[in-house]
Amino acid sequence: MENLHRVLMRTDYTILKNVLSKASAIGLTPGQPKILEFLYPDLETDQKTIAANCFIEQATVGSILLNMEKKGLVERFRKDGNRRSLYVKLTNKGKNKAEEMLNIFSFIDEEATKLLTDDGKKEIIVLLNKICEALNDK
């Protein structure tokens, strides 16, 4: 029997490879797909919150957002009363790209679980969440 960590690393690598390949085909670079998904459709939030929810270092999020802003996918702005933090939201172009990415994520999810029953699909999500919970308790 394989070790759990090896199976999880291989699974993560395989899914990520598929996501990045399809994301690249629509003009996105690593990090951008999960930020688009997180902000979709109308979330306005700061860089720190994006980093925490997308599991990306805050400094890395800054450079990803700069590239996304140059492509017209997001806009950054300051909110009244908070002059220190920059907030981010999707532009219309960003929303369209996010919808494309959501379709890609759905397709990959379906492909990844096509050999599982509906109950098996639910169970694997429950089990993986339990694994994360157990490791986050440490």
Q: What does the block give as tokens for 96? A: 């369209």
Cα–Cα nearest to 88, from 64, 124, 118, 110: 64
pLDDT of residue 138: 60
pLDDT of residue 34: 97
Cα–Cα nearest to 131, from 1, 3, 8: 8
How confident is the prediction along the chain (138 residues), in pLDDT tens digits per residue? 789 999 999 999 999 999 999 999 999 999 999 999 999 999 999 999 999 999 999 999 999 999 999 999 999 998 877 777 889 999 999 999 999 999 999 999 999 999 999 999 999 999 999 999 999 976
CA dihedral 104, 109, 110, 112 (to 10 degrees): 120
Cα–Cα nearest to 72, from 49, 48, 98, 52: 98
